[in-house]
Structure 1
């Protein structure tokens, strides 16, 4: 409602705004002022109610309070309006001086955000923007804007660079998936679909294939990155030089495959059969595999990666050739503009393949286990579809292929330490027998295929083996009484175990069961589901890329476009 619709005595008691007028002409405020009708009616009713009282004290106090409140709010509005007007004037002058609108947008992590806020957004004592005030202010703003522009240009450059890299990685991914087909492919198993681990269990094995780290070193890629071209131009450049990219891929595959095969052939081993194909595999497809490819596909062709992050592990992790390459290659940094100014953005280079080594111990263990399974020449992808339980010790956990290898490697290392320090155990009369040694038992298998279960098991009374605690064995073996008695007999040759000599009560844990009890994993069910080859062709993957038009959009609003890269 218009201010003039209210009695004059209420004009200083209600909050109003001026539309098209100014406080410089107070006589015009009743004609230009606008207030909220509901608020005005409430104040008018309260005013009339208090004015009826004989004692005018409450009325005068309320009127004074309303005037102060309205004046304070009006003053705040005027200051806010002054700040907004001043900010618009500053931006207009900066644009006239040649600055771009993007230069005036400071990110929350920018170095100059605090000073910009104090000088432009919320100065403590804002003054009208006279020429003299502007001259002094611009001298302070100029270095902030220069720094902010440099940061913005750097962010945009990094964004373009990473988008080119990501698009190139997508091209390599599609080529890897379509040309040529997988070397081996097996059908997903029903038992694997019951567990989350099946999501991470590959059913295909492909030939070695270059990573984007390697492709970035191509001269044509380096030149396009130096020219800082957009995604569309970069895309066209790749398509124009597709033959060079294909030659690079072939050359990289040949060199890398030869390097890995030479590692495996260091032991100069003869194979009666290089590789046994999975059940029902297309024989023509199998015949197309080279001997080098077959050798790398074997379940006992294993490697370890010697990098800093893995040197603290007690047991080196065994890898097939594909996982070894993935592990050796460093991860690529994502676009994180808020990291600018703290650490330099880098592109990790392709590693020296000499960090990959033949894992002789793992190969020896794998061959024993494969012989035990009756699959001495099986492929890694086939045996890795199943879980296995150890049939030699107390630990009945269902493990995947590489985890079971680690289990046996660990006990092989313990045996080596026991042999090295045999006199220490002999002095205490402690016997340690490696039940995981293939020659330990002729009537018990080493492992068996097992169905993985998420069941925790029942809580049972348990005791802890005091003999396994001793160095150099250094193991925590906590079992139910029947299992512990079997362990003491088979491993330590103790047929009459005594408390506090051969076993003791377990200690309490902060979150686990109380002392003297624990959860015992039951023997898992045997998995008899066979692994079969999958001869069906693969679906062509969909490729995505960022279009040129969205390259310089705000970092939080990424737009994707679908592209046929053929």
Structure 2
């Protein structure tokens, strides 16, 4: 047995022989704390070392025989193999009793057995908890594919089919020399309905009864099938509650408009008053077709984007291509200019992407299994993002898509490139909106500083303005091939992140890459020139920009 002699020798180090006539085989009592010095005398140290060497020379059979005899007696007394498996906290004490060279006799056992009893009870409790935890994991692992089948079988929330270019507006075609996408790319997109994650499901009483109860593994599927109807209704209710949460957040704190009356609804099953619903006429909600809107703004259309035919799933399972057939809540939430934020980090800002995923994108290896169960829905930190929503509304107007859904715009992929600055990376539509929001926030901060301290001669130009007078192109929509080539070119260049020292002087936290892509501006130099008016030839490292050390 590994560590047998070494363990026994180590244990012998603190044990001193006595003149007792009968062997008690009890461990030596713990030495009381010395009042002066605990340093051993030279003779005592020599005796301990000598005993250690003697035990190390003993054959392992001596220790193994004792261990086997003790374990056999414990099993005969009614303890199980799990009970005689020491817990981490009992390991040292258990081995101190078990791994000694003295053989076991009835008389020795009579004195030794009481020493094992508290350890056995502790082992029993610990291993019971470990076994229960393992069985719980097994039941969860058995349940997950059953739940996944339910999720996969649901019809999509939205099914997008890209319109053939020949069906598009001929006038618009003249502004686009080629198809944006190959015929087989992004032409058929299905977006799943929001579905609870494993972490969410484990809070539901009907699921807890299966997972936390003493349910044999082979009965998990039967138990789940027995609650299937109740489970399906709970999923629908969970989804409806999230929609109401988001609409309530959207309506909270909103300024009074001409139509301030909020619509209400009643839950059909419970008969309770619902949370405030979306105003049906809010912000020119699209009600005519399920395709991308073509409402034109005062500006001429700056980009010609692919169009989609959208098919929506109704609550009763039927489908429609008319978005006005959906509830007013869902019509509001699906809009690409209905955006949310919070005080911390938030990856997605629109519905349904803002809802935690039912299945994690990547599996965590080596950590607690709970890390793979996903996140729960928590609406308490979310709030309406008026600034991003206003920017999205303006940009959508500039591309003639005032009524577009977030799903349609997401389907366009990461093929947008800002035309007001060089970002070195392409953006999704949502990221482009957030980029303009960040730049406009910095501009406002700059103007506040200029007004507060006019004598300093600060300059902060508005490079990302979207006012009526600013008709400069705001973005380029690239083909996937062009976007990939652009990203590849950027990845081949060193791209250290820099902090603008001009912004820093104004109390603005801004960061830009210092990289040179053939045919494109260096981001940090471009920023200093266009925003702060520093000529390109006069830009100096350490004077106008410095390395970003991380942090925010």
TM bucket (normalised to shorter chain) is 0.5 to 0.7
Q: What is the SS of the residue equivalent to 2:383? A: strand
Match of residue 504 from structure 2: 469
> How far is the alpha carbon of 1:249 from its aligned partner?
2.0
1:86-101 equivalent positions in 2, closer than 5 A: 86-101=66-81
Match of residue 524 from structure 1: none
Match of residue 454 from structure 1: 488
Are 1:478 and 1:506, in contact at CA under 8 Å, matched by a contact in 2?
A: no
Determine the C-alpha separation between the residues in 2 that align with 1:350 and 1:499. Answer: 48
For structure 1, the residue ranges without an aligned partner over 5 or more in a row are 1-73, 511-566
Determine the C-alpha separation between the residues in 2 that align with 1:462 and 1:162. Answer: 44
Are 1:328 and 1:353, in contact at CA under 8 Å, matched by a contact in 2?
A: no
> How far is the alpha carbon of 1:175 from its aligned partner?
1.6
TM-score, scaled relative to structure 2: 0.62
Corresponding residue pairs, total: 412
For structure 2, the residue ranges without an aligned partner over 5 or more in a row are 1-53, 163-179, 255-278, 293-306, 313-318
Are 1:304 and 1:357, in contact at CA under 8 Å, matched by a contact in 2?
A: yes
| 1:166–1:261 Cα change, 3 Å | farther
Q: Does 2:329 align with 1:300?
A: no
| 1:478–1:441 Cα change, 3 Å | farther
Match of 1:363 among 389, 393, 406: 389
Larger radius of gyration: 1
Q: Which has the higher contact order (CA 8 A, sep 6+)?
A: 1
Q: Does 2:117 align with 1:142?
A: yes
Match of residue 168 from structure 2: none
Determine the C-alpha separation between the residues in 2 that align with 1:78 and 1:496. Answer: 82
Match of 2:96 among 103, 118, 130: 118
> How far is the alpha carbon of 1:290 from its aligned partner?
1.3
Per-residue CA shift, 1:517-546, capped at 9, x if unaligned? Answer: xxxxxxxxxxxxxxxxxxxxxxxxxxxxxx
> How far is the alpha carbon of 1:472 from its aligned partner?
2.8
1:167-246 equivalent positions in 2, closer than 5 A: 167-185=142-160, 203-224=189-210, 227-246=213-232
Determine the C-alpha separation between the residues in 1 that align with 2:308 and 2:357. Answer: 30
> How far is the alpha carbon of 1:458 from its aligned partner?
4.9
Determine the C-alpha separation between the residues in 1 that align with 2:149 and 2:138. Answer: 17
Match of 1:325 among 355, 375, 398: 355
Match of residue 271 from structure 2: none
Per-residue CA shift, 1:386-423, capped at 9, x if unaligned? Answer: 22211112434212333323322222221232233333
Match of 1:102 among 69, 73, 82: 82
Match of residue 458 from structure 2: 430
Match of residue 270 from structure 1: 283
Q: What is the SS of the residue equivalent to 2:341? A: strand
Q: What is the SS of the residue equivalent to 2:78? A: coil
Per-residue CA shift, 1:292-340, capped at 9, x if unaligned? Answer: 334323322222245xxx2xx5xx5542233432189999x9999999x
Are 2:443 and 2:462, in contact at CA under 8 Å, matched by a contact in 1?
A: yes
Q: Does 2:393 align with 1:393?
A: no
Q: How much is the aligned-residue C-alpha RMSD, in angstroms?
A: 4.7
Determine the C-alpha separation between the residues in 1 that align with 2:495 and 2:374. Answer: 51
